[in-house]
Amino acid sequence: MKKICVLTGAGISAESGVKTFRDEDGLWENHEITEVATPEAFLRNPELVLDFYNQRRRQLMGVKPNAAHTALVDLEKKYEVHIVTQNVDDLHERAGSSSVLHLHGELTKSRSSKNDQLIYDQKEDLYLGDLCEKNSQLRPHIVWFGEAVPEMENAISLVFEADIIIIIGTSMQVYPAAGLIDFKKDNAPVYFIDPKPTIQSTDTIELISEKASQGVQKLVDKLLSS
């Protein structure tokens, strides 16, 4: 079976009603990254950080996967599909994708702030005083700015092993995730789906300047019929 690696960003969840980060009215327009998404912010004002993620987690419970997430599941009929997502939502899993790697963590999980191997399901709000089994404060299982991206090695392998790369809904601004494309096989074609693409087309990169729900469905139909 041919292998496809799909790199997704906030844009694939936009039509589900989940805010992106850098579009107008994006998440970073209403919040300072340094106030809510760094380890220093959590030390300085843990309640503010916990509330930021509580709000996003509550909002996630009210949305559902869209046609783009679902089309990627259909792709598994003919290809070995691995999703590598920068998103912390669980919409790929809820759509039914069987292989999802979260580079930046997961909103529906928390972890010990002292031992990052102690990870817990977290569907409810998280508060100061909620402790792990070793009695240290629980924190969102999110990779904050300035923190390591532990899944990067696995992501690089998935990109390198792929025969086809699909990139959906990312502004390609945040490293190391944005650098994953550099690890692809030279002859592996890249399909880049975004209404406002931030990269140029080349002999191996085809831009599909459409919203994910339309663009992904069209590409999946093409790949399933080829």
| Nearer residue to ligand APR within complex by CB, 78 or 183 | 183
Residue 16: is it exposed, middle or buried by C-beta count within 10 angstroms (0-12/13-18/19+)? Answer: buried
Q: Are 78 and 226 in contact (CB under 8 A)?
A: no
Least distance in angstroms from the C-beta of 1 to ligand APR: 27
**Separation of alpha carbons 38 and 108, rounded Å:** 18
- Listed ranges 9-17, 38-46, 115-123, 150-158: which one lies at the site for ligand APR (CB under 6 A): 9-17
- Counting contacts by CB under 6 A, is residue 194 touching ligand APR? yes
Q: Are 172 and 197 in contact (CB under 8 A)?
A: no
**Separation of alpha carbons 57 and 14, rounded Å:** 15
Least distance in angstroms from the C-beta of 222 to ligand APR: 17
| Nearer residue to ligand APR within complex by CB, 138 or 194 | 194
Q: Are 81 and 6 in contact (CB under 8 A)?
A: yes
Q: Which of 69, 92, 102, 104 is catalytic?
A: 104
DSSP states along 23-59: STT-HHHHS-HHHHSSHHHHHH-HHHHHHHHHHHHHH
Least distance in angstroms from the C-beta of 134 to ligand APR: 27
Q: How far is CA 49 from CA 2, 4, 146, 160, 208, in A?
A: 42, 36, 15, 36, 36
18, two tokens: 């989940």
- Counting contacts by CB under 6 A, is residue 66 touching ligand APR? no
- Listed ranges 13-21, 75-83, 122-130, 201-209: which one lies at the site for ligand APR (CB under 6 A): 13-21
Nearest-CB residue to ligand APR?
Answer: 11
**Separation of alpha carbons 153 and 5, rounded Å:** 14
Least distance in angstroms from the C-beta of 158 to ligand APR: 17
Would the CA dihedral through 111, 112, 117, 121 be positive or negative?
negative
- Listed ranges 5-13, 50-58, 117-125, 152-160: which one lies at the site for ligand APR (CB under 6 A): 5-13
Least distance in angstroms from the C-beta of 127 to ligand APR: 23
User: Binding pattern to ligand APR, positions 19-48, x when CB under 6 A?
Assistant: -xxxx--x----------------------
Is 104 tagged catalytic?
Answer: yes
Q: Which residues bind ligand APR (CB under 6 A)?
A: 9-11, 14-15, 20-23, 26, 86, 104, 169-171, 173-174, 194-196, 198, 211-212
Q: Which residues are catalytic?
A: 104
